[in-house]
């Protein structure tokens, strides 16, 4: 009887050792890095949806073109972000923040010149805010992967800001 118990315990220990040896726990991620990943993901989702609205509802071709570019660029940025978040074990929300959703509903209610003005003004404000967030993550984030993500996104966001400021000044 004792021999069976020893064999059973040895089998359980061996089985558990094999399971845990093959499992790599995700690395610890700082609260700042998690917040950055979640916020940037929601920003990307909002930019993609807003860009799609611009393609459909804008009055000016330049605004439609900016919308299309934002959809493409933010889809690419978000694909990279999702890979990093998955690697680090960070769960991401499935939709933009409540505030972003409310703003998207306001855009959806407009078209033509009214849409153009509201969307471009929001893009200038939001891209300026995003640049501040990117700089903060690059300078004080903990995870090298997340910091690199922010560093790589910065030129894209700066290009978007330059584009919408140029459209805004041409109005």
Residues counted in the chain: 171
Token pair listed for 166: 């140029």
Please tell me what DSSP assigns to residue 26.
P
Which residue has 């909002």 as its token pair?
46
> Helix, strand, or coil here: 19?
helix
Which pLDDT does position 28 carry in this prediction?
83
Which pLDDT does position 156 carry in this prediction?
98
pLDDT at 41 over 70: yes
Give the least confident one: 12-21, 36-45, 127-136: 12-21
pTM strictly above 0.75: yes
pLDDT at 20 over 90: no
Token pair listed for 90: 């960070």
pLDDT at 118 over 90: yes
Spatial CA neighbour of 156 closest among 50, 52, 46, 47: 47
Residues 6 or more apart whose Cβ sits within 8 Å of residue 165:
124
Which pLDDT does position 171 carry in this prediction?
61
pLDDT at 11 over 80: no
Residue of higher predicted confidence among 13 and 109: 109
Please tell me what DSSP assigns to residue 25.
P
Which pLDDT does position 26 carry in this prediction?
58
Class of domain 33-169 as given by CATH: mainly alpha
Report CA-CA distances (Å) from 128 to 51, 88, 135, 161. Answer: 17, 27, 11, 7
pLDDT tens digits, one per residue of 46-98: 999 999 999 999 999 999 999 999 999 999 999 999 999 999 999 999 999 99
Q: For the chain, which residues make up each domain, given as ranges?
A: 33-169
* Gap between the Cα atoms of 126 and 108, Å rounded: 18
């Amino acid at each position: 009887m004792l021999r069976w118990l020893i064999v059973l315990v040895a089998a359980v220990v061996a089985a558990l050792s094999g399971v845990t040896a093959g499992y790599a726990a995700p690395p610890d991620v700082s609260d700042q890095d998690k917040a950055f990943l979640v916020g940037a993901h929601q920003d990307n989702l909002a930019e993609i949806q807003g860009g799609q609205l611009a393609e459909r509802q804008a009055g000016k071709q330049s605004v439609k073109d900016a919308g299309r570019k934002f959809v493409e660029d933010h889809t690419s940025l978000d694909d990279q972000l999702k890979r990093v978040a998955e690697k680090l074990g960070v769960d991401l929300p499935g939709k933009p923040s409540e505030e972003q959703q409310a703003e998207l509903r306001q855009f959806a209610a407009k078209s033509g010149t009214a849409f153009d003005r509201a969307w471009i003004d929001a893009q200038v404000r939001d891209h300026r805010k995003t640049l501040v967030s990117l700089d903060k993550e690059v300078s004080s984030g903990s995870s090298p992967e997340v910091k690199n993500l922010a560093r790589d996104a910065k030129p894209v966001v700066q290009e978007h800001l330059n584009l919408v400021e140029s459209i805004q000044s041409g109005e």
